[in-house]
Amino acid sequence: MKLLNQIAAVTALNIRNLPQRTGGSLVAVVGVAAVVLVFAAVLSMAAGFERTMLSAGAEDTAIVMRAGSTAELNSGLSNDQALIVANAPGVLHDGDSPIASFELYVVVDIRKKSTNEDANVPLRGVQAGAMDVRRNVRIVEGRMFEAGRNELIVGRSAQSQFAGLEVGNNIRFGQTDWTVVGVFDADGSVSESELWTDVRVLQTMYRRGNSVQSVRVRLEGPDSLATLEKALADDPRLDVDVLSEKDYYSSQAEPLSRFIRIVGYPLTVLMAIGAVFGALNSMYASVSVRGTEIATLRALGFGPFPVLVSTVIESTLLSLIGGVLGGALAYIVFNGFQVSTLNGASFSQVVFDFAVTPDLLMQGIVAALIIGLLGGFFPALRAARLPVAQALREL
Amino acid sequence: MKYFALIWKNAWRKKIRTSLTVLSVLVAFLLFALLNAIGFAFRSGEDVSSAERLVVLNKISLINPLPISYQARIGSTPGVAAVTHASWFGGYYQDPRNQFAQFPVVAEDYFRLYPELIIAPEQLESFAKNRIGTVVGHELAEKFGWKVGDRIPIQATIWTKADGGRSWEFELEGTFRTDDPRGSTAYMLFNYDYFEEARAFGKGTAGWYILRIAPGADPVEVANAVDEQFANSPNETETSTEAAFAASFAKQFGNIALIVQLILGAVFFTLLLVAGNTMSQSVRERIPELAVLKTVGFGDVAVLGVVLSESILIIVMGGVLGLAIGWVVVQGAAQSMGATLPGIYLSPQAMLIAAAIMVGAGIFAGLFPALKAMRLSIVDALARG
């Protein structure tokens, strides 16, 4: 009890006279704030990208592509094959007709507003069933495209990132003119990065005959995936891969988010090491400034342990302030900041928001505490071992 | 320079403090080196692109192919000295994670257009002769342990064969490299004839054309002349210099350079605070000493110079060490992971920028303490001591 009282007393004393040491303390605080800011900002890209990719994937929706194609852009299926897929067991029906959409996925060059350079924007040809397959998609402005016409509906994110996609605008791809007739929302998922049109129109434009690239079907339930997979595997007319939408999108998200993490974590560790040096420096300075004070306390009967603990507490507290500041700054500046990048896996642009998640903020605070503990420990050791008589003589 | 001993002694007056400051500067410049090298990789080879080569793409997007008949028409355009084509194969070796680029090309034409690619003449000859022959960048051969004569199966993700198969087998005939430390050759070339004959669809097309302009020809005029030929056809073209294409493609990733700069901005801002704080503590402790210096005849400017030089010295020590470690790490990564992380490179420009930052940060961090030292009045300072 006496020990705790001593620790409390010394710590309170330290904190009360912190204002006299603002210079050094500020450096420690800013150093830690920078680490947490950069950590949260970089990793929030991975978190935001994953959220956008994964929120598009439903477990009860399957995507069927030619075997081995790994991405829609590479795949190709004939109309006959697509019909077999749509009518296979496991597919949910609305009345008599299966809930399915035959789709083509191509990229077109559209100017990105932020760079003013052409970017690979995904253009998806869909059937009317697309809206039933993806329950989160709804028109929020204008109207749905009409079958057979050169009309586009554009995702909300695509509209904000790429030039000339306002409702009513005309846009030219190669030799064909298109009219933007509507905007759709898809709960911030990757679908919102896309432009949609009637698959038949797109087949003509790309001279694809009546072939498609993928078939999306609603399943009767998550367990029906195995049923569908088996039925299609047993059909000699087909050579296809069947994936749940969720698995498909997580495989598409993996390379980029892994890359960001591979860069982001070592970057943070390096910066944190730098911040530990900064913290050590300011805590050594703090101990040397307080030398007389510590010696006086020791002469009054305070033990070395409370002195050690109070110095560590001071350092950790400063780090914590830095961590909270850095985290708050990251949240204010970066959370929700919208960017688009080329996703190598689909060779097309994905628009996503930086997501400074609570999980990232927690990790940042933990990093700040570790920096504070490491930065405080050795100076604290010195403070505790300060030879009392000598320090007092310096007065 | 004659004060170097004095500056050196001053800098190490408090060993722990100076060491810690040097170490934090070291970390900052190590980050600078690593982030710059990674940023360089995202420039998609913009810096190694030739100004004499133009790239002809389908105007709709680069995934749309162009008819093979365009080769002759592009070749006869005034100002075009040579032309060849390449296509995107998009396969992988054994595991989908082993992604690298493969291009079906016309062997001799391709190497003639890319003189910077170094290959033994006899290897090029046997590559051209063997229908299923292939040559790969040395990085790939090292990564996968391939030897000349090996059979290499590549799994196609796009191009199924006419017989329905997805596995394309090639025979390794040689490897190529480039002398430019900035360039990467982590890709595979194989014969277009084999590709054209065996693929199930897309026959009669090539992915894009590469042309070299005649000496003295204007690249913009040549590009316009090519595009005009195909205007209003079902396959309009978009021709640009290789460098412009690389720059535009790099921008598809988003502004990587800006992100790198923001991170470095935060790092260097902190660094300035750390170094500035060290210097002001150091000057504060030394006020009596500085007063003595002045008393024995050091002028105001000399005192200013001594303090500023100390600040620059501390940052340069940390900076040079940090850059050196960064350089070693980048070299090591380029050697051992050339196939996984192609194009990482620490450019001389980045080194120069780092040197400028060292001096600038040194001056900035030391300026206020140095001014304070310069303005010291001897009498006051000695009285305080």
pLDDT in tens, B221-261: 999 999 999 998 889 999 999 988 888 888 888 877 788 88
In the predicted structure, residue B136 carries a pLDDT above the cut 90:
yes
In the predicted structure, residue B385 carries a pLDDT above the cut 70:
no
Residue B170, phi then psi, degrees to nearest 5? -125, 160
Residue B73 has what pLDDT?
A: 96
Q: What is the mean pLDDT of chain B?
A: 91
Residue A394 has what pLDDT?
A: 63
pLDDT band at B140 (very low <50, low <70, confident <90, very high): very high
CB spacing of B201 vs A76 below 8 angstroms: yes
Neighbours of A138 (CB within 10 A): 11
Residue A395 has what pLDDT?
A: 53
Q: Which of A42, A280, A341 is the closest to B254 by Cβ?
A: A341
| Cα–Cα nearest to B30, from B332, B352, B327 | B327
Query: With 0-12 CB in 10 A as exposed, 13-18 as middle and 19+ as buried, what is B26?
Result: buried
CA dist list (Å): A28 to A83, A317, B14, B272, B285: 66, 10, 19, 12, 20
Neighbours of B303 (CB within 10 A): 19
The one-letter amino acid code at A252 reads Q
Those residues of chain A that have pLDDT short of 50 are none
Residue B44 has what pLDDT?
A: 67
Q: Which residues of A touch B93 (CB under 8 A)?
A: none
Q: Calculate the dihedral angle through the C-alpha atoms of B252, B253, B259, B264, rounding to the nearest 10 degrees.
A: -110
Residue B370 has what pLDDT?
A: 92
Q: What is the CA radius of gyration of chain A?
A: 30
pLDDT band at B9 (very low <50, low <70, confident <90, very high): confident
CB spacing of A37 vs B266 below 8 angstroms: yes
**Helices of type H across chain B:** 4-11, 15-41, 70-75, 107-113, 121-129, 138-144, 192-198, 219-229, 242-251, 256-285, 287-295, 300-336, 348-375, 378-384
In the predicted structure, residue B342 carries a pLDDT above the cut 80:
no
DSSP run (H or E) holding B189:
strand B187-191
pLDDT band at B379 (very low <50, low <70, confident <90, very high): confident
What are the structure tokens assigned to A191, written together?
């679908």
pLDDT band at B333 (very low <50, low <70, confident <90, very high): confident
What are the structure tokens assigned to B235, written together?
């396959």
A17-61 confidence digits (pLDDT tens) = 888 888 888 888 999 999 999 999 999 999 999 999 998 888 899
| Cα–Cα nearest to A141, from A110, A185, A177, A179 | A185
More confident residue, B166 or B2: B166
Average pLDDT over residues B288-293: 87
Q: Which residues of A touch B27 (CB under 8 A)?
A: 270-271, 273-274, 277
CA dist list (Å): A41 to A342, A356, B31, B141, B288: 19, 7, 16, 38, 46
Residue A20 has what pLDDT?
A: 81
Q: Which residues of A touch B64 (CB under 8 A)?
A: 106, 174, 206
In the predicted structure, residue B43 carries a pLDDT above the cut 80:
no
Give the C-alpha separation, B48 to B250, whole Å: 13
Q: How far is A269 from chain B (nearest CA, A)?
A: 10
> Is the CB of A354 inside 8 Å of chain B's CB atoms?
no
Under 8 Å between Cβ of A211 and A66: no
**Helices of type H across chain A:** 2-16, 22-54, 79-86, 130-133, 156-161, 199-205, 224-234, 245-289, 291-300, 304-334, 358-385, 388-393
B171-219 confidence digits (pLDDT tens) = 999 999 998 888 889 999 999 999 999 999 999 999 999 999 999 999 9
ipTM: 0.87
- The answer for B 149-188 residues in CB contact with A (under 8 A) is 155-158, 160, 164, 166
Average pLDDT over residues B313-327: 96
Angle at B271 between CA B270 and CA B275, to 5 degrees: 120
Q: Would you say the C-alpha torsion A14, A16, A17, A21 has a positive or negative sign? A: positive
Residue B96 has what pLDDT?
A: 85
Strand order in the sheet with B80-86: B91-92, B151-156, B167-176, B133-137, B187-191, B101-105, B80-86, B208-213, B53-58, B237-241
pLDDT band at B71 (very low <50, low <70, confident <90, very high): very high
CB spacing of B253 vs A175 below 8 angstroms: no
Q: Which residues of B touch A73 (CB under 8 A)?
A: 63
What are the structure tokens assigned to B189, written together?
């070339």
Residue B353 has what pLDDT?
A: 95
Average pLDDT over residues B262-268: 89
A-B contacts (CB, under 8 Å): 147
CB spacing of A68 vs B63 below 8 angstroms: no
The domain spans of chain B are 4-42+254-384, 49-251
Local structure of A218: helix, strand or coil: strand
Give the C-alpha separation, A6 to A192, whole Å: 60
pLDDT band at B29 (very low <50, low <70, confident <90, very high): very high
Give the C-alpha separation, B47 to A304, whole Å: 61
Q: Which of A67, A68, A278 is the closest to B274 by Cβ?
A: A278
Under 8 Å between Cβ of B209 and B146: no
Residue A110 has what pLDDT?
A: 94
- Categorise residue B85: left if φ over 0, alpha if ψ from -120 to 50, beta otherwise: beta
Q: Which residues of B touch A340 (CB under 8 A)?
A: 254
> Is the CB of A28 inside 8 Å of chain B's CB atoms?
no
Residue B384 has what pLDDT?
A: 65
Q: Which of B24, B156, B254 is the closest to A278 by Cβ?
A: B24
CB spacing of A274 vs B64 below 8 angstroms: no
What are the structure tokens assigned to A92, written together?
């949910």
pLDDT band at B1 (very low <50, low <70, confident <90, very high): low
**Helices of type H across A87-236:** 130-133, 156-161, 199-205, 224-234
Q: How far is A9 from chain B (nearest CA, A)?
A: 28
